[in-house]
Structures are given as C-alpha cells and as structure tokens.
C-alpha cells in the first residue's frame, strides 16, 4: 500500500515510529505528569553546590 507514497512521507512515518520507540527512555516521559512546567523549563539541569 505504501509503494506509491513519496519518499519524504515514508521517512516521516519512520521517524515518528522511532520517536515513539525511544520515548520511554528519555526525559520526555515526564511530560504527561507535569505538562505545564515543561513548557517553560530548560533542558539543562542546574544543581546547587553544597558548601
């Protein structure tokens, strides 16, 4: 069924499948638990140094 589909669309589908496959192993899993804070949150984690 996908033989007549353009190559760009096939690559789009494959990329979507790969994203869904790797999703559980990334920090993106937490987006469903606290979606509001992820909009403004930086992906760099800063930790305070203990003195």
Q: 22 pLDDT band (50/70/90 cuts)?
A: confident
Q: What is the pTM (predicted TM-score) of this model?
A: 0.50
More confident residue, 1 or 3: 3
Contacts of 36 (CB under 8 A, 6+ apart): none
């Amino acid at each position: 069924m996908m033989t007549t589909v353009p190559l760009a669309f096939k690559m789009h589908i494959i990329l979507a499948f790969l994203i869904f496959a790797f999703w559980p192993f990334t920090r993106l899993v937490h987006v469903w638990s606290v979606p509001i804070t992820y909009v403004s949150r930086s992906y760099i984690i800063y930790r305070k140094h203990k003195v």
